[in-house]
Structure 1
Amino acid sequence: MELQTETQKEEDGERWREEGERQREEDRKRRRDEDGGQKLGKRRAEEDEDSPNKKLQMLDHSVKVASHYNSLQEVGLAARSRSRIFFMRNFNNWLKSVLIGEILEQVRGAGPQQVSVLDLGCGKGGDLLKWRRGGINHLVCADIAGVSVEQCQSRYEDMKKKSHANEKIFSAQFINADCTKEVLAEKLADPDQMFDICSCQFVYHYSFESEQKADMMLRNACERLKPGGFFIGTTPDAFELVKRLEASDSLSFGNEVFKVSFQSKGFYPLFGCQYHFSLEDVVNVPESLVYFPLFEHMAKRYNMRLVVKQRFSEFFEEKVKKEHHRSLMMKMMALEPFPGEDSGRQATDSRAEYSHAKEHSGRAGVKLPLGTLSRSEWEAASIYLVFVFQKMS
């Protein structure tokens, strides 16, 4: 099974490389034909209407993404607990908590210092408590969605008000900016600000709409990192998405909690390979495949080296072996108990969703209840991977 997966990866990679070369040749031809050295980008809108190869034309989806996240309503804990993907969201939060905690340990391992963090694509501030628990000194939060940035700042101010008198909460700056187009360094309150960590959670794939956007996002993530600093994040695994698409009888795949839809299959351009992703009531936006070997290559421009790249399943299997990570998992309710409490009721009534847990529970020596995710939630979570880059001295 592993051999087939690797073969698929090589074939998909070759397709991407060939498609990328073809696109570059088309771009070179366009540039040669352009009048008076006009830039390709200025004619993009007109070309989109007439091009015979509209699939490969890059449309700017930044407005759609910002609009979607701006329109998401803030819901309370009670409403979140009723969500079909309650445990999956907790699982993702646990995974981010472990990642952030371990990276902070590495930063402090280099010696006592004032720790500064850039949260690139901060959203509504879902990771604020993680940075608080990590005892950082300064945080810069940036996001394309202005409403989300306002809510993030409001959460921060509320957190400061409710903190204990002897607790020192980190200082913070909040920036509304499209980090795929704007230079973030020009917006910093301290023009000399440098960071120990840049965290980019479930966001970087939006930038792979074009090479220019992906590079600007990388520049914002990496150029202000201190030597030895880390760029960490989570993003969909393009190889996994392509594998599932190729195995599908249609141009989409998914289950009762998520759906991924492509416009075509068989060729996958290096940039601007769009698909539409929907996840229950949380996500409903266009995204772009991130071809990871290219991502790694681009990061080298900013003196970054890849130190960790793991699928969520691999990361989970490694980290859950440690007692303190298991304890945090229980505290965060990152897995659903099986059989369920309240007369055996689970997040969904479908028995097929827990057939894997039922099979495992019947094995010798297994103690109940088990910790699990429903099959649909696991299929959604297992799309993603964790990455860690480090700034070389």
Structure 2
Amino acid sequence: MDVLLRKDGGEEEEEEEEGPSPGGGRRGQKAQMKRRHEEEEEEEECAKKKLVIDHSVKVASHYNSLQEVGLAARSRSRIFFMRNFNNWMKSVLIGEILEQVRAGGCRRVSVLDLGCGKGGDLLKWRRGGIDHLVCADIAGVSVEQCQSRYEEMKRKSHINEKIFKAQFITADCTKEVLSEKLEDAELQFDVCSCQFVYHYSFESEQKADMMLRNACERLKPGGFFIGTTPDAFELVKRLEASDSLSFGNEVFKVSFGSKGDYPLFGCQYHFSLEDVVDVPEFLVYFPLLEHMAKNYNMRLVLRQRFSEFFEEKVKKEHHRSLMMKMTALEPFPLEDGDGQTTGSSGEYRHAKEHCARAGVRPPVGTLSRSEWEAASIYLVFVFQKIS
């Protein structure tokens, strides 16, 4: 039997020619052409949908494939102190927001962790004494690990210690309505936390809006939507200052496809950070996010670059104490004579110059130049639901 090659290289049986129709051969040819045209349109539509799906799948696959490592392995990482610093920033933000919630008279606190990952913030919610937590993420393996951490935390807790109840949901929060997946259909939240995640949703207006809906529609009046995300203005500024389509250093790299044209949605760049991230992301044009949030009765309370937030919060003694406990900064110079995290002297020139100033008593806490360049692309945000 004769065969025809598909465009994709496969094979299909040749269609039999249609016999004469009551209206003649042309009608049969037209019907066949129409059918083929419909098939081509269907294939094109499927291809478009596949492009949309692929990005979500790529993000989920990346985070699912990240291996859980112990403290010893993390301490050897080139970005050990930066990761601790980012964790401290989140701890301060979450702690202060929970204080505000309780100051408003709330006794039982419910939280949505949108993009929970492997559960890196579980201990923060435990320290905050919340009552109910819902964890949601697109990466199913991560959600399973998050739930395992929670179960282990409960198992190791003191007899008289009350651990919050929790629900774990695997879902693409840019496409699916989370409220339909809640065990308690009437549940409302005092806080929604979205840490280093929201930028994935700015692939399209539909995805960004769905993410925002999931973050805000179940918040109580006065409730907070908090998070951290790359600062689009800072990213574009560094790109425009670069001689190429990328910028970065030995620990991180940001690459764009072009310069000069930055659409409001779908402005993609590739971000890689040593041992942690290696996926496409999208610029979050913050004035647009603020405008979209108004549709969910949200008002912007705080928007600060990491540098600004750090400089303000480090003035408080209890925040400095937490920073020491979390090893959020690297001591410079090291007292035992060992080398710093990186052997490059230029990485700590700023710390050396600071130590040389009158009245400064070494060692001082710092991040290497490369780590700070990576950490300082982020901003902190807080929205509140209008009563």
Give 1:150's aligned residue: 144
SS of residue in 1 equivalent to 2:337: helix
Shift of 1:372: 0.2
- Report the count of equivalent residues: 347
C-alpha contact (below 8 Å) 1:232/1:387 kept by paired residues: yes
**Which of residues 219, 223, 230 in structure 1 aligns to 2:213?**
219
SS of residue in 1 equivalent to 2:254: strand
Counterpart Cα distance in 2 of 1:47 and 1:184 = 25
SS of residue in 2 equivalent to 1:142: strand
Shift of 1:340: 1.8
Counterpart Cα distance in 1 of 2:187 and 2:42 = 32
**Which of residues 220, 231, 237 in structure 2 aligns to 1:243?**
237
Asked if 1:373 is matched to 2:367, the reply is yes
Give 1:120's aligned residue: 114
Asked if 1:264 is matched to 2:258, the reply is yes
Counterpart Cα distance in 2 of 1:113 and 1:122 = 24
Runs of 4+ in 1 over 3 A off after TM superposition: 40-49, 57-60
The higher-RCO structure (CA 8 Å, 6+ apart) is 1
C-alpha contact (below 8 Å) 1:58/1:272 kept by paired residues: no
Counterpart Cα distance in 1 of 2:46 and 2:227 = 32
Asked if 1:104 is matched to 2:98, the reply is yes
**Which of residues 83, 88, 107 in structure 2 aligns to 1:94?**
88
Counterpart Cα distance in 1 of 2:180 and 2:335 = 53
Shift of 1:46: 5.0
C-alpha contact (below 8 Å) 1:340/1:346 kept by paired residues: yes
1:303-348, CA deviations, whole angstroms, 9 ceiling, x for partnerless residues? Answer: 0000000000000000000000000000000000000243141000
**Counterparts of residues 174-253 of structure 1 (less than 5 Å):** 174-253=168-247
SS of residue in 2 equivalent to 1:199: strand
Q: What amino acid is aligned across from residue 134 of structure 2 in structure 1? A: V
SS of residue in 2 equivalent to 1:159: helix
Cα separation, partners in 2 of 1:350 and 1:45, compared to 1, 3 Å: farther
TM, length-normalised to structure 1? 0.86
**Which of residues 376, 383, 387 in structure 2 aligns to 1:389?**
383
Q: What amino acid is aligned across from residue 348 of structure 1 in structure 2? A: T
Shift of 1:152: 0.0
Cα separation, partners in 2 of 1:378 and 1:193, compared to 1, 3 Å: same
Give 2:167's aligned residue: 173
Cα separation, partners in 2 of 1:300 and 1:119, compared to 1, 3 Å: same
Give 2:298's aligned residue: 304
Shift of 1:45: 5.5
Q: Decide which structure has the larger Cα Rg and report it.
A: 2
Shift of 1:237: 0.1
TM, length-normalised to structure 2? 0.87
Shift of 1:111: 1.1
Q: What amino acid is aligned across from residue 168 of structure 1 in structure 2? A: K
1:219-275, CA deviations, whole angstroms, 9 ceiling, x for partnerless residues? Answer: 000000000000000000000000000000110000000000001111000000000
Give 1:320's aligned residue: 314
Counterpart Cα distance in 2 of 1:183 and 1:41 = 27
1:127-175, CA deviations, whole angstroms, 9 ceiling, x for partnerless residues? Answer: 0000000000000000000000000000000000000000000000000
SS of residue in 2 equivalent to 1:388: strand
Counterpart Cα distance in 2 of 1:155 and 1:68 = 20
**Which of residues 343, 349, 354 in structure 1 aligns to 2:348?**
354
C-alpha contact (below 8 Å) 1:60/1:209 kept by paired residues: no
Shift of 1:47: 6.4
- Mind listing any 5+ residue stretches in structure 2 that lack a counterpart? 1-40
Counterpart Cα distance in 2 of 1:184 and 1:42 = 31
Larger helix percent: 1
Give 2:130's aligned residue: 136
Give 2:154's aligned residue: 160
Shift of 1:60: 4.8
Cα separation, partners in 2 of 1:41 and 1:215, compared to 1, 3 Å: farther
Shift of 1:74: 0.3
**Which of residues 286, 292, 315 in structure 2 aligns to 1:292?**
286
Counterpart Cα distance in 2 of 1:348 and 1:205 = 30
Counterpart Cα distance in 2 of 1:41 and 1:390 = 44
Cα separation, partners in 2 of 1:41 and 1:66, compared to 1, 3 Å: farther
C-alpha contact (below 8 Å) 1:90/1:333 kept by paired residues: yes
